[in-house]
Amino acid sequence: MTPVRVRFAPSPTGGLHIGGLRTALYNYLLARQTGGTMILRIEDTDQSRFVPGAEAYIQEALSWAGIQIDEGPEQGGPFGPYRQSERKEIYHRHIQELLERGKAYYAFDSETELEDMRNKLKEEGSHSLQYDHSIRMKMRNSLTLPAEEVQKLIREGKYVIRMKVEPGQTIILEDIIRGSVEFDSGQMDDKVLMKSDGMPTYHLANVVDDHLMKITHVIRGEEWLPSAPLHVMLYEAFGWRETMPRFAHLPLLLKPDGNGKLSKRDADQLGFPIFPLNWTDPRTNELAKGYREEGYLPEALINFLVFLGWNPGTDQEIFSMEQLIKSFSMERIGKAGARFDIMKAKWFNQHYLRAKSTDELGTLLLDMLKKKQIECSQEKAISIAEAMKDRITFPSELYASATFYFSRPISYDQALVAKKWNELAHKILADYAQLLTKEVLLTKEKAQELLEATCQQHGTKPGAILQLLRISLTGAGAGPDLMLTMEILGGKESSERIQLALQNFSTN
């Protein structure tokens, strides 16, 4: 069996879109499942769109997500260089081969001539405005001009090289996801393979590199499906059809309502990231937030992304990377677009965050407190993490939802106080506060015992004053386990907070 070799081939034109990360993930899972090779190839032939820092961003995003690269610009490998801008000579050799075989030709048409052609076709009512078999013999190219003029224009260097697509052919592509897909060559244009700056287009570079790097599977987005017949024709033109990789075109990522393809603008309007990491565009200095900085764990994002198109055939939803590698199957990727449900991503994040040990969460909290210059012991941080872990979706909420542990309330839920406040409640809380002052090492069990005893002395049950007690301690009417909160605060602090609250309640 031929070893599986897959590639993720992004262009360094900006931040890595979340759909690109999904493509990288599917490639990675297939590579690891089969003991194959995962390649990163930087497709930077369009130098006009190159953005400084984008390649480093792509590398960092993949690493953060746990997608390990075997061969690439940084890792090296036997099939380098892995940046297309460094492979220019390779493409020139191969384009020359196509020219010699009559599969490609020089085109010298200026932008004005091309525009005139399109305008004329419009006037004639043509349904197609493309440069194809029906129009090429009316244009200025090496098929129509005398050999001497062709050589002169080549020396001047003002040309592109186009694929010579002949009509009357049915191109059949066996796609792993979509099955057999047929294309009519008569509907295809003579795509540019080499641009006027001497750099190849995506079509030529992609096919040449995939062949030379021995890629066995091309897994990419659905938007590349219209280009697939040209790529098949290029494999045939080079005589590589027998070793052509298998294709799989992934379904689109759709807006949460399923109405159209997900875009950065949609994500911005709906308030969720479209990039795995924060990305600052060096051209505009505009910051786009990333999943990492928004508090998503990499394992949660990966678990979420894998389900955007793939299903395991079971009810299982939680998968580690190792489990995904074992369970993944290209045949279980669907054709239909996948709706991007950010609430599901939050659900996954909540699950993985809650699955962390209290020691891990305590360390996360300590790191946040140090940045805010708040003193806290490791033991207290772990206790707070234990109290808060079932109430958080993002790590930042460990502190944001637990500030009351570090500072006394400066305001209270007065509407709830007014509803619950009475003379009996005042007496119970006052007596309870006095008992708490004697507890040097208050435990949640002792706090509960003293509360029940105090309420019993006044002929009532704890439920009658629990919300007032919580408001006294935290300022709010809801929160984590109340007795555990008191254990964390300690007897003296709890007593003083209750007494301060009683003064507030009595004067309002």
Q: List residues with catalytic annotation.
A: 264
State whether residue 167 is helix, strand or coil. coil
State whether residue 334 is helix, strand or coil. coil
Residue type (1 letter), 97: E
Concatenate the DSSP letters of all residues of 95-114 into one string: HHHHHHTTSEEEE---HHHH
Q: Please name the residues in contact with 248: beta carbons below 8 A apart, sequence gap of 6 or more.
A: 26, 175, 176, 177, 217, 218, 219, 220, 330, 333
Instruction: Note if the bond before 409 is cis, omega within 30 degrees.
Output: no
Residue written as token pair 């305008």: 119
How far apart CA 484 and CA 216 sit, in angstroms, is: 57
Concatenate the DSSP letters of all residues of 294-307 into one string: TT--HHHHHHHHHT
Burial class (CB in 10 A: 0-12, 13-18, 19+), 211: middle
Radius of gyration of the chain measured on its C-alpha atoms: 33
Burial class (CB in 10 A: 0-12, 13-18, 19+), 468: buried
Q: Are 70 and 32 in contact (CB under 8 A)?
A: no
How far apart CA 21 and CA 67 sit, in angstroms, is: 9
How far apart CA 364 and CA 382 sit, in angstroms, is: 10
Q: Which of 337, 320, 338, 336 is closest to 328 using CA atoms?
A: 320
Residue type (1 letter), 192: V
Crossing angle of helices 54-65 and 298-306, rounded to 10°:
90
Q: In Å, how far are 270, 347, 420 from 273, measured between CA atoms?
A: 9, 16, 43
Q: In Å, how far are 50, 115, 118 from 124, measured between CA atoms?
A: 39, 14, 10
How far apart CA 5 and CA 213 sit, in angstroms, is: 8
Q: Are 341 and 305 in contact (CB under 8 A)?
A: no
Q: In Å, how far are 301, 404, 420, 498 from 470, measured between CA atoms?
A: 36, 11, 12, 9
Q: Please name the residues in contact with 458: beta carbons below 8 A apart, sequence gap of 6 or more.
A: 424, 427, 428, 431
